[in-house]
């Protein structure tokens, strides 16, 4: 009598500990920590300063270098790595789920809950949420999960190109905009005047309810205009590229260290100068709205993809090395609890900077911001391994999986993770 259980009879369930791929967790932890370098600016400064560093705050001396290094090394790079890992995770999870008889319904339910989490995060806590974008784009990339690595790379390049072309065409069309439309766009998206800055600072230093109009307006733009303009296309491109890299064995540590060393050199030696050149072009253009918003960003848009290849090479060399086991374990723990740690970063950031907390919004220099970032890193690198000694999931990972599989998952350690 056969002991084989038909796939359809096996309930869909999460990945077990022994099935986890350590390199994915380490890279996810690294990217999650790196994302905070950029997000701290959004927590602590007016929204326009995220894209236009001249819009608010001192940008001289050490503050300039903090912004420049953060921009070159992390802006669009950490989110890019995280997006690639998200795509890889879809392939990994769904290949197992489909083997057990689950499929599109499970994935759609999982993405649907992520979209809801993202909406709650953006509208109730902080408008710069990325979960909504991942949920929406995750529904799209699922359609390509069975494609070959070569096809996935071609599709990835296509989506990257569409996002880039949309930005370029919008910049080209700006010469035909009425002057009042250009002035309005500049004030609202690039260089707010003193009165607008004062109102935004006052709102975020005010109560949670006083912040709501700004938060809802910005969140709605992120979820519609920005998603269609650039974020959706690039997120899908990154996810498809992550699927390709996973299927090619690159993200799972199945290639030689020589391959990873070449990735690191090629990515960082080509990508970093491209991003740096883009900064120089923006400076020489005096951060002109038409050039810097639409054209100057193209260097970082494409350069970030190349830098990400370099970062992945560096991280895989780290993951496949024999030493630094405690550092790997700490980063892996942050990666395994990335959802919870992402929201924790928001809770800490908004408590520090918004009026319902310490109300430091608009008062913290870029140098002090990076010191806060390092302090938050230390907290997360300490509490994540500690939490996983006793629990199998981060708290929000547990909630998300329980909702996805529509049954209460065991939380204590030694169970499914």
Q: How far is CA 160 from CA 148, 173, 260, 278, in A?
A: 18, 20, 23, 18
Determine, yes or no, domain membership for 340: yes
Instruction: Compute the average pLDDT of residues 370-391.
Output: 96
Does residue 55 surpass a pLDDT of 60? yes
The pLDDT value recorded for residue 99 is 64
Write the pLDDT tens digit of every residue in 283-309.
999 999 999 999 999 999 999 999 999
Does residue 2 surpass a pLDDT of 90? no
Does residue 104 surpass a pLDDT of 90? no
Asked if residue 346 lies in contact with residue 374, where contact means CB atoms within 8 angstroms, the answer is: no
Determine, yes or no, domain membership for 205: no
Q: How many domains, the chain?
A: 1
58 or 102, higher pLDDT: 58
The pTM of this model reads 0.91
Write the pLDDT tens digit of every residue in 357-367.
999 999 999 99
Determine, yes or no, domain membership for 185: no
The pLDDT value recorded for residue 412 is 80
The pLDDT value recorded for residue 250 is 93
User: CA 134, CA 277: separation in Å to the nearest integer?
Assistant: 30
The pLDDT value recorded for residue 3 is 36
Determine, yes or no, domain membership for 37: yes
Determine, yes or no, domain membership for 390: yes
Instruction: Compute the average pLDDT of residues 398-409.
Output: 91
Instruction: Compute the average pLDDT of residues 34-38.
Output: 96
The pLDDT value recorded for residue 98 is 66
Tell me the pLDDT band of 409, cut-offs 50, 70 and 90: confident
* Residues of the domain holding 34: 29-46+323-417
The pLDDT value recorded for residue 67 is 97
Determine, yes or no, domain membership for 149: no
Average pLDDT of the chain to the nearest whole number: 91
Tell me the pLDDT band of 406, cut-offs 50, 70 and 90: confident
Helices assigned H by DSSP within 285-394: 289-290, 297-319, 325-336, 338-353, 366-390
Determine, yes or no, domain membership for 341: yes
Instruction: Compute the average pLDDT of residues 303-318.
Output: 96
Contacts of 170 (CB under 8 A, 6+ apart): 229, 294
pLDDT over 70 for what percent of the chain? 93
Instruction: Compute the average pLDDT of residues 341-362.
Output: 97
Spatial CA neighbour of 27 closest among 102, 71, 78, 94: 78
272 or 16, higher pLDDT: 272
The pLDDT value recorded for residue 192 is 94
Instruction: Compute the average pLDDT of residues 256-272.
Output: 93
Name the burial class of residue 386, with classes exposed (0-12), middle (13-18) and buried (19+) by CB atoms within 10 angstroms of its CB.
exposed
Instruction: Compute the average pLDDT of residues 106-125.
Output: 96
Does residue 315 surpass a pLDDT of 90? yes
Does residue 103 surpass a pLDDT of 90? no
Write the pLDDT tens digit of every residue in 124-165.
999 999 999 999 999 999 999 999 999 999 999 999 999 999
Determine, yes or no, domain membership for 383: yes
Write the pLDDT tens digit of every residue in 60-88.
999 999 999 999 999 999 999 999 999 99
The pLDDT value recorded for residue 411 is 82
Secondary-structure breakdown of the chain: helix, strand, coil percentages, each rounded to the nearest 5:
75, 0, 25
User: CA 54, CA 389: separation in Å to the nearest integer?
Assistant: 45
Question: Hey, CA dihedral for 80, 83, 89, 94, is it positive or negative?
Answer: negative
């Amino acid at each position: 009598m056969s002991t084989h259980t038909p796939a359809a009879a096996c309930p869909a369930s999460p990945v077990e500990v022994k099935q986890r791929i350590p390199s994915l967790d380490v890279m996810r932890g690294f990217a999650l920590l790196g994302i905070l370098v950029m997000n701290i600016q959004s927590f602590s400064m007016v929204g326009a300063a995220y894209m236009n560093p001249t819009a608010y705050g001192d940008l001289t001396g050490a503050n300039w270098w903090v912004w420049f290094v953060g921009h070159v090394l992390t802006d669009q790079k950490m989110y890019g790595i995280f997006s690639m890992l998200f795509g890889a995770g879809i392939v990994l999870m769904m290949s197992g789920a489909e083997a057990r008889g689950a499929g599109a319904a499970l994935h759609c339910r999982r993405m649907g809950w992520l979209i809801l989490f993202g909406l709650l995060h953006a509208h109730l806590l902080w408008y710069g949420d990325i979960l909504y974008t991942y949920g929406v784009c995750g529904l799209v990339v699922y359609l390509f999960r069975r494609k070959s690595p070569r096809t996935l790379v071609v599709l990835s390049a296509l989506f990257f190109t569409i996002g880039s072309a949309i930005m370029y065409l919008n910049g080209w069309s700006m010469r035909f905009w009425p002057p009042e439309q250009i002035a309005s766009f500049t004030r609202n998206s690039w260089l707010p005047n003193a009165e607008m800055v004062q109102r935004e600072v006052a709102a975020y230093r005010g109560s949670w309810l006083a912040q709501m109009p700004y938060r809802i307006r910005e969140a709605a733009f992120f979820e519609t205009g920005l998603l269609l303009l650039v974020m959706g296309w690039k997120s899908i491109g990154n996810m498809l590229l992550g699927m390709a890299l996973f299927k090619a064995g690159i993200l799972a540590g199945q290639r030689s260290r020589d391959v990873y060393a070449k990735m690191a050199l090629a990515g960082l030696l080509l990508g970093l100068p491209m991003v740096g050149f883009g900064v120089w072009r923006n400076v020489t253009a005096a951060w002109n709205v038409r050039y810097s918003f639409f054209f100057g960003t193209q260097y970082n848009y494409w350069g970030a993809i190349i830098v990400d290849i370099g970062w992945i090479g560096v991280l895989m060399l780290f993951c496949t090395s024999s030493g630094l086991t405690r550092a790997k374990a700490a980063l892996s723990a942050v990666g395994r609890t990335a959802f919870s740690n992402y929201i924790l970063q928001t809770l800490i950031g908004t408590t520090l900077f918004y009026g319902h907390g310490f109300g430091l919004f608009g008062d913290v220099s870029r140098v002090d911001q990076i010191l806060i970032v390092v302090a938050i890193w230390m907290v997360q690198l300490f509490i994540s391994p500690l939490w996983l000694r006793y629990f199998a999931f981060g708290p929000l990972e547990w909630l998300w999986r329980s909702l996805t599989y529509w049954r209460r998952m065991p939380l204590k350690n030694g169970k499914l993770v």
